[in-house]
């Protein structure tokens, strides 16, 4: 077992280490305009177990109260915890308890909808650290890899949300 895999396994077993991270947090911010009423987009988004309806990478979702398991197409699963649902501002705040195959740790995010005329703007903003806990990370676990992975998830997810909301 490689060292980084060992650390990843250890991170799951030892709660203290699971919250360990380097000193530099990364950010991903993406948005999309949707030609559909904001309320309709929000209805889709706020359904905590509904991500498989609009995210192309998600096969199915298992919900257990405020926790959800995203079962990914092609295997792998991500576990997330809902922190805040703000109906008035049409936004959700949540964090990852287990990033699964994603090269990140301590991930938290906010997704929100705002009305723009007859349409909507969806904003997805995430904060996370690279997977590797120490200095000198290998390329697949460095800051760039973390940002690339999350940005990819946001872009494909927002495109999916747009398609479904617009009835395409």
Task: List contacts with another protein (CB under 8 A).
Answer: 16, 19-20, 22-27, 83, 93, 95, 108, 110, 125, 127, 134-135
Tell me whether residue 23 or residue 75 sits nearer to another protein (CB atom): 23
CB of 14 vs another protein, minimal distance in Å: 11
| Closest approach of another protein to the CB of residue 108, in Å | 6
Q: Determine contact, residues 28/126, Cβ cutoff 8 Å.
A: yes
Exposure pattern of 23-53 as b/e (b: 16+ CB <10 Å)?
eeebebebebebebebebbbebbbebebbee
Q: In terms of CB distance, is 92 or 164 closer to another protein? A: 92
User: Both tokens of residue 134?
Assistant: 């120490």
Q: How far is the CB of 91 from another protein (least distance, A)?
A: 10
Which is closer to another protein, CB of 59 or CB of 81?
81
Please give the full DSSP string across 4-30, using - where no structure is assigned. Answer: HHHHHHHHHH-HHHHT---S--EEEEE
**22 vs 49, beta carbon nearer another protein:** 22
* Closest distance of CB 24 from another protein, Å: 5
Find residue 28's DSSP bridge partners.
Answer: 126
The nearer residue to another protein, 22 or 152, going by C-beta atoms, is 22
Question: What is the nearest approach in angstroms of another protein to the Cβ of residue 125?
Answer: 6
Contacts 24+ apart (CB under 8 A), 1-4: 4/131, 4/132, 4/138, 4/141
């Amino acid at each position: 077992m490689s060292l980084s895999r060992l650390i990843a396994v250890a991170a799951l077993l030892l709660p203290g280490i699971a919250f360990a991270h380097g000193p530099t947090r990364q950010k991903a911010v993406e948005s999309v305009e949707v030609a559909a009423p904001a309320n309709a987009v929000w209805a889709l988004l706020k359904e905590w177990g509904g991500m498989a309806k609009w995210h192309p990478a998600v096969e199915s979702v298992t919900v257990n109260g405020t926790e959800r398991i995203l079962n990914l197409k092609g295997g792998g699963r991500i576990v997330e915890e809902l922190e805040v649902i703000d109906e008035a501002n049409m936004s959700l705040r949540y964090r990852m308890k287990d990033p699964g195959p994603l090269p990140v740790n301590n991930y938290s995010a906010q997704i929100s909808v705002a009305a723009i005329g007859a349409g909507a703007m969806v904003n997805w903003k995430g904060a996370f650290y690279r997977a590797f806990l120490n200095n000198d990370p290998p390329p697949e676990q460095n800051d760039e890899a973390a940002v690339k992975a999350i940005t990819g998830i946001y872009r494909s997810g927002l495109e999916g949300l747009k398609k479904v909301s617009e009835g395409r």
